[in-house]
Structure 1
């Protein structure tokens, strides 16, 4: 979801606008510098290592998927050549002092680098990978045979010193006693730069929780970047196309007057437009610190392409210029997001037919649902299920079955870019038709024919939950407000939902927010299925979710042995003062998660 920055939204945050003048000017200078550098470097990825000249890191290191024995690390540098990354066990004395540890890391230190071939070991406690990388393209280093439940320090060899300190911890081979997930959506760097003072930046708050060891995994629910930029900034840029922040618009402008059969010649230029946004967004220092020190898994939403992508029929035309530019954005999303969990052969992107992905981490199932590519890039004419698509539904049914990867899981987190429940179908339909700015309601679960799949999803999750004393929590983003929801059938709560949005964007306008709260006190999907919202906020926020297994030896518990507890809460930004922790909500109606961070 995106708001157009009109008076109703801006006036509600007028106290933040004094920051905009100097920060806006600073940002324009920075963007002009990046455009100049891009022209110098080009987009061919042909720059090579030069003797005595150290390459610079443009993005990363970013910790991708981590399991008990493996870890993926993504990095992008500005020169082609061989690059070496070493991971080594973190000394226990340093592990107990995270603040001291950050000062002691020797990430990117200068000097000679030993070569160990494609992969090698300095000792049982050190692992080294060396591989060829292409300039200005993200590359992934996958480490295997790591020790379970072990903290590692990441060192990038031979690059300039100003690299974000990086570390990670592997997970137990069996189910973890407790895992805490940070949940994020709607990260608009343009708003961070213009409106959010450093002391109020939620990314800085989250990084402190990560450094303190209180967050084990980050789940990104969409709008990791805003490829369509910022309308206010582009209004100031006027006809200066190089200064446009809207990469989709720049791509369409580039294709004007070009015959469709020649569009492919401009693919790399359009892709580079989008890469610039990832670099700008992810090297924001607090964001970079979070991404470098905690595992990350992601699913894209509309703004990785442009606002409302896939919500109107025109977006389904694969022969249009809009679709070509969108496909470039999708390719770039695979470079920066998909590679965090799986290898991608970019010479065969036509062989990629799905964007949903499922994982089992420390005994917790993670189900990332695709609601954008399913209706555009992977759309299949004739599919009966038009929202997620027949193929994705087959995969969901399989993974929830007795033979699926979630068969041994006791808890399941369902990651949906849009909340599974938000507004009633009739309200969703009417709002999407009446207001252009709410057109992306056409991409919600409660819109039109999608409601059939909404009910099917509720039933599928409920069936899995009831099969073996399990628990489910649905996670949603997109809507620029956050809170808790009960999903109900025949007056019984089936499971709950946490909506968290936005970590860095303007809030939902007050009028829309209060209408949503009133409409969601008890909303109806059908005669049987209802939902109830509570403890909502329009402040900027991110989520914290803890999954805990209660054992018979847990004498402090109030739960029964063997019960699974999922506790969810929001961390809310404030206009003045430090962020605050909202009330915790537990499936057992108990508050056991402790996550206190000094500012």
Structure 2
């Protein structure tokens, strides 16, 4: 019996999986980190060319695409046809990193559009970038402090099951990626980056594709060896990424705009880090994770070993597919920071260090928290008047809905245990949450305009939080871009989110928006004017009139909520 999914074609994906493609990652005014997947080992070259007026026209695009589609096509001829500024040769030696490779392109010009294509030297043809031309724009120089925009999305789960026995995997809600792409292109000359705020794929989204279900069905001992092994598990996680990222709408966003990513639980497993796995905990998280453990003749120690093995495999896949194109960080450190024209961004890792069984600082861990607190303390309000902190799980969201609720009922009736413990507002996180809010309000008191950016909860919202001195922080949540299965916590949030109230620490909060359907957000920043705006977009369409029956509905381009933050 083989557990690996390498070279397996029997997974019930209803869409083509990602084979070749690109992600435009961390960008500065003079550099871009470019992630590539070639689908096979070999020798390749990146062709980088200028994106001028002739290329931008419809006719110019068709002509260049046709010119690059010839086979065989010598490298020198491909360079001539693109009028390439340069080319970068690279090799993918084996399948060790699932044929992914990252190039750091430097010596670029600020605020400039570049086209690119990947060429296979072994096959003498363009691998991709000919059938659909790829391009990206470098941001302006930091010193210019021009107004800019960025996008925020989270929670990409476009699958559902159907059929008499619920074994057919269907697609739904993918229009949101087309809407997001259209919004980004409409604002492309000022759109500097995209933040993917967690759950860019789901290891456990639907039963037909659930790799934790696969683990429960295949875990065993053979000849004294606990199986599946880590390499097999890694193939499962790679399969998930390639399935979820195989959609054209997803690829058009990722390969066109600098995209900064952070994982959340579903890139690992539902509620990762919020389950008690050790014996004697308040509830039996191990039994929930592995309901068939005893039936398969395995011990609780075996279950813990398999869970941690899955985490290691998930971490390797996360590095390959997501973190490798983020800003550089030390080994084992997933949190990172970057700047963009008068704004500083810090992306917190609320999942890789999360451990509900730790005595304190169970979400970030003390080392990461101290690293973040030191970073905030070093900020100069004159250099970076705006700060955006990415926390995949909102710091404020659930409290307003759960005040007065019978939490034992919620645990019993709708299985909310790990969702509640996942929340920053759970009592287990009081110390860490209070410390985080102190750091942010000290920054706000120094004149820094602070916003927290989140996803996770499948409800979009905007809250302002104020301290007793009148300093304010915004909690902005955009979730989910695609999701087709009701989530208990989001159901409760929709029913009971309060308009205003007081947090455990005594901060007052007020809700300015709550949107329960699929969405994404655009945030605009005006450093010189000290202004920032939050715009939330949902799936809005105008149906065709009766005399135009059969024509597609027209998507609306205006936001469902527009809020001035500062």
TM-score after normalising by structure 1: 0.74
Counterpart selection for 2:87 from 128, 140, 147: 128
In structure 1, what is the equivalent of residue 317 of structure 2? Answer: 332
Q: Which residue of 1 aligns with 2:65?
A: 106
Matched, 1:283 2:252: no
Aligned to 1:470: 448
Q: Which ranges in structure 1 are unaligned for 5 or more consecutive residues?
A: 1-34, 42-55, 235-244, 345-350, 551-562, 589-599
Query: Are the equivalent residues in 1 in contact too, given 2:25–2:325 (CA < 8 A)?
Result: yes
Q: Secondary structure at the match of 1:106?
A: helix
For residue 482 of structure 2, give the secondary structure of its aligned residue in structure 1: coil
Aligned-partner Cα distance in 2 for 1:509–1:338: 27
Name the CA distance, whole Å, in 2 between partners of 1:549 and 1:324.
Answer: 45
Q: 1:194 to 1:438 in 2, by over 3 A?
A: farther
Q: Partner of 2:547 in structure 1?
A: none
Q: CA deviation at 1:474?
A: 1.1
Unmatched runs of 5 consecutive residues or more in structure 2: 11-16, 121-125, 162-168, 278-284, 287-300, 544-552
| 2:504 aligned to which of 519, 523, 526 | 526
Runs of 4+ in 1 over 6 A off after TM superposition: 120-125, 315-318
Residues 187 and 511 of structure 1: is their aligned pair in 2 closer, same or farther, counting only changes over 3 Å? closer
Rounded to whole Å, the distance in 2 between the matches of 1:286 and 1:515 is 29
Q: Please state how far the C-alpha of 1:358 moved relative to its aligned partner.
A: 1.1
- TM-align CA RMSD: 3.6
One of 306, 317, 324 as aligned partner of 1:321: 306
1:334 is paired with a residue whose SS is helix
1:17 is aligned to none
Contact 1:210 1:216 in 2 (8 A): no
Q: Structure 1 residues 491, 408: CA separation in 2 closer, same or farther (over 3 Å shift)?
A: closer
Distance 1:523 1:168, change over 3 A: same
| Higher helix content, 1 or 2 | 1
Deviation at 1:405, TM superposition (A): 9.0
User: How big is each residue's C-alpha offset from its partner over 1:540-567, in whole Å with a ceiling of 9 and x where there is no partner?
Assistant: 10111111123xxxxxxxxxxxx32111
1:208 to 182, 199, 204: 182
The 1:71–1:191 alpha-carbon spacing in structure 2 relative to 1, beyond 3 Å, is farther
The structure-2 alpha-carbon separation of the partners of 1:197 and 1:380, relative to structure 1 and needing over 3 Å to count, comes to: closer
**Does residue 411 in structure 1 map to residue 386 in structure 2?**
yes
- Deviation per residue, 1:143-189 (Å, 9 max, x gap): 11111111111111134457653211112222431111110100013
Partner of 2:370: 394
Correspondence for 1:267 among 202, 223, 230: 230
Determine whether 1:69 maps to 2:48: no
Q: CA deviation at 1:36?
A: 9.2
8 Å Cα contact 1:517/1:533 also seen in 2: no
**Of the candidates 116, 127, 150, which is equivalent to residue 154 of structure 1?**
116
| Matching residue within 365, 368, 371 for 2:347 | 368
Supply the distance in 1 between the matched residues of 2:43 and 2:381 (Cα, whole angstroms): 39
CA distance change for structure 1 residues 366 and 141 in 2, over 3 Å: closer, same or farther?
Answer: same
Paired residues in the alignment total: 497
Paired with 1:564 and 1:156, the residues of 2 have a C-alpha distance of 41
Q: Separation in 1 of the partners of 2:488 and 2:214?
A: 32
CA contact (8 A) 1:218 1:295 kept: yes
Cα distance in 1 between the residues matched to 2:81 and 2:332:
40
- Looking at structure 1, the residues matched to 106 and 239 of structure 2 have their Cα atoms a distance apart, in angstroms, of 31
CA distance in 1, matches of 2:142, 2:493: 45
Match of 1:296 in 2: 259
Within-5 A mapping of 1:119-518: 126-133=85-92, 134-135=94-95, 136-158=98-120, 159-160=126-127, 164-175=132-143, 176-191=145-160, 194-196=170-172, 201-214=175-188, 215-231=191-207, 234=208, 245-258=209-222, 266-314=229-277, 319-342=304-327, 352-376=331-355, 384-402=360-378, 408-424=383-399, 427=403, 430=407, 433-434=411-412, 435-437=414-416, 439-467=418-446, 469-490=447-468, 492=470, 494-506=472-484, 513=491, 516=494, 518=496
Which moves more between the two structures, 439-448 or 458-467? 458-467
Moved more, 571-580 or 489-498: 571-580
Q: 1:130 to 1:470 in 2, by over 3 A?
A: same
State the alpha-carbon separation in 2 of the partners of residues 433 and 380 from structure 1.
19
1:173–1:259 distance in 2 versus 1, CA, 3 Å: farther
Which digits, 9 at most, give the CA deviation of each residue in 1:113-142, with x for residues without a partner? Answer: 4489xxx99999713211111343321111
CA distance in 1, matches of 2:468, 2:374: 27
Q: 1:454 to 1:510 in 2, by over 3 A?
A: closer
Cα distance per residue 1:31-63 (max 9 Å; x no partner): xxxx9982389xxxxxxxxxxxxxx97142111
1:58 match: secondary structure: coil
Once the two structures are superposed, what CA deviation does each residue of 1:493-541 show, in whole Å capped at 9, x if it has no partner? 6121211111000375699647556442123322621322232111110
**Partners in 2 of 1:252 and 1:228 — Cα distance?**
12
TM-score, scaled relative to structure 2: 0.78
Deviation at 1:102, TM superposition (A): 5.2
Alpha-carbon distance in structure 1 between the residues aligned to 2:524 and 2:113:
20
Q: 2 CA distance for matches of 1:355 and 1:36? A: 27
Q: Secondary structure at the match of 2:377?
A: coil
CA contact (8 A) 2:234 2:316 kept: yes
Q: Is the 8 A contact 2:421 2:428 kept in 1?
A: no
Asked if residue 565 in structure 1 is aligned to residue 531 in structure 2, the reply is yes
